[in-house]
Structure 1
């Protein structure tokens, strides 16, 4: 299995694009009643380290499922804000992991996307979108939700990029909101 480092990301107070994708995915899947926090579930109390490790393992699995070899960018998963409950990142958090793969030396991007279409459902993921981005480039995009772990993954094959930028596959994994154990410093 491929390994992802367990470094941290810059903490942000803005909703990352993939968090919006999570919200859209939940809408597509059908939400139950929303509580006073704006969530349709009660956040699980969870320590940060195991939550980050789980997302890093998902990233490593995605690399394996793509069956390609290339350079991987980005640090390991990190803590991000749970906007609906705690915009100040004091008690609640999400885990967010954006990364990409580029400069392939084995396989093709098209093969990688097709492999993900096949492998995600085999490993318990529901594909909620398989089409094109709404950008001018209309790049291929897959969005999937794991109904057991409640993680969302957004995958875009950026084959059309401006300037001299090379093509790549960008991936963003987002967890649902967790409540940090009492006394945890999320900053």
Structure 2
């Protein structure tokens, strides 16, 4: 699975165990001030974005039914107490691998009109060199990595793999993220 660059949560320096960065440091580390947002609202938004990405592919198949879920924004809050991201890894199964090129071409042409800026469009740096698109939503700050895994090791079936990640959010005061 491809790591999504610049999401500002898990790939940058950490604050240290058991600590949450101060708001001024949060902005410095992430490059933005996280929006205060209810967890359920953020999860619902990511699920809706995933649905629009599926529609943009424009091919038949069966999406996995794993919903989006909140997790730690580890660059500033590794203990998951105040800041969080919403992650939604999913896949399109039972799609004809012959349609994968169509799906990727549809995404190339449709994502910009949906507010996405494509930052990578080319083969993966792997043995099979499967096509990959990485994009950031210019308004919301969500990141997505989409891989058309036509060729895979062993008996693994072809799939289109999608990893959608939100920017970091700040939970409203009084929110217990471990129960969100």
TM-score range, shorter chain: 0.7 to 0.9
Per the alignment, in what secondary structure is the counterpart of residue 103 of structure 2?
helix
Equivalence for 1:155: 146
TM-score, structure 1 length as denominator? Answer: 0.80
Q: Which of structure 1's runs of 4+ aligned residues deviate more than 6 A?
A: none
Deviation at 1:18, TM superposition (A): 3.8
Alignment partners' CA distance in 2, 1:19 and 1:114: 20
Q: Is the 8 A contact 2:4 2:145 kept in 1?
A: no
Taking structure 2 as the reference length, the TM-score comes to 0.83
Residues 48-102 of structure 1 deviation map (CA, whole Å, 9 limit, x = unaligned)? 0110111001100011111111111141100111011100000100000000002
Q: Which runs of 5+ in 2 are unaligned?
A: 9-23
Which 10-residue stretch deviates more, 142-151 or 69-78?
69-78
Query: C-alpha distance in 2, partners of 1:112/1:146?
Result: 19
* Cα distance in structure 1, aligned partners of 2:4 and 2:157: 26
Q: Give the gaps of 5 or more residues in structure 1.
A: 1-15, 24-34
Root-mean-square deviation (CA, aligned residues, Å) is 1.9
Instruction: Give the total of aligned pairs.
Output: 161
1:172-183 paired onto structure 2 within 5 Å: 172-183=163-174
Whether the 8 Å contact between 1:70 and 1:106 is mirrored in structure 2 is: no
Aligned counterparts of 1:64 and 1:161: Cα–Cα separation in 2: 24
Q: Distance in 1 between matches of 2:82 and 2:5?
A: 21
d(CA) in 2 for partners of 1:120 and 1:172?
Answer: 15
Structure 2 residue 75 is the aligned partner of structure 1 residue 53: no
SS of 2:61's equivalent in the other structure is strand
